[in-house]
A = this chain, B = another copy of it.
Amino acid sequence: MNTLSYGLLSLLSLNPQSGYDLMHRIQPFWPAKHSQIYPLLSCLEKEGLVQFETVAQTDKPDKKVYSVTESGRDALRKWLSEPTDAPALRDALMLKIFCISLSNPDAARALIEERAGYYRCKLDIFKEKLETIREKASLEEEDAPVFGSPYFGSYVLVQRALSSSRSDLNWCEWVVSLLPPGKKPETEHL
């Protein structure tokens, strides 16, 4: 049992879903391709931690909907009580910044702006997700779901994603502000 297996089990504890769904939902917290997920689900099924049901769909191809078993929930409870590994972040941009002085201000700006765009995009996605959760949990402005609510986990996770993206975007903008002014950008002509 590796971390990804527990992650799949954890997501399934929220609601039964397909491998395809799991792949999309686990991505922001633990990147994984379908080629890794499908075999793990088969394995979890053999171990009796999950079970599945083939569901026919009329508008889309059929799917296998997985759900956790009682034995799976026991495994999760045990996992929750064990010490958590430190997070692992791998970011090529940080490595590029070590040798940024081999570059010039314009190339450096392009490098950071590319990433800033990525964080702006993430911000928009997570803002939408927050709205979806607020609606589902029928929350008033500024309210948070209480511990025990099925939305508590998703809510605190999306809030984290939002504050991380904001913090990272601010950093990008700060770095760009430190760069010496170079060639004027196209927008100046408008």
Residues of A within 8 A of B (CB): 3, 6-7, 9-11, 13-14, 26, 29-31, 73, 76-77, 79-81, 83-103, 105, 107-108, 111, 114-115, 118, 144, 146-150, 152-154, 156-157, 159-160, 163-164, 166-168, 170-171, 174-175, 178-180
Verify B102–A73 contact, CB threshold 8 A: yes
* Complex alpha-carbon distance, A84 and B172, angstroms: 14
In chain B, what residue has the closest Cβ to A87? B91
> Chain B residue with minimal CB distance to A26?
B95
Neighbouring B residues of A90 by C-beta, 8 Å? 3, 29-31, 87-89
Per the bound structure, the CA–CA distance linking A91 and B90 in Å amounts to 12
Q: How far is the CA of A105 from the CA of B149 in the complex (A)?
A: 12
Inter-chain contact A84/B147, CB cutoff 8 Å: no
- The answer to whether B3 and A92 touch across the interface, beta carbons within 8 angstroms, is yes
Known contacts A29-B91, A30-B91, A91-B30; A80/B98 CB under 8 A: no
Q: Are A178 and B29 in contact (CB under 8 A)?
A: no
| CB <8 Å contact, A103 and B80 | yes
- The chain B residue with its CB closest to the CB of A110 is B81
- Beta-carbon contact of A97 and B178 below 8 Å: no
- Choose from B26, B149, B156 the contact partner of A97 (Cβ within 8 Å): B156
Which chain B residues border A11 with CB–CB below 8 Å?
A: 95, 98
Report how far A85 CA is from B136 CA in the complex, Å. Answer: 34
12 A-B residue pairs with Cβ-Cβ distance under 8 Å, sorted by A, are A3-B95, A10-B99, A77-B103, A80-B99, A80-B111, A86-B118, A147-B180, A152-B178, A156-B174, A159-B171, A164-B164, A166-B167
Bound Cα distance A179, B79 (Å): 20
Could you tell me if A147 and B111 are in contact, using CB atoms closer than 8 angstroms?
no
Query: Shortest Cβ distance from A77 into chain B, in angstroms?
Result: 5
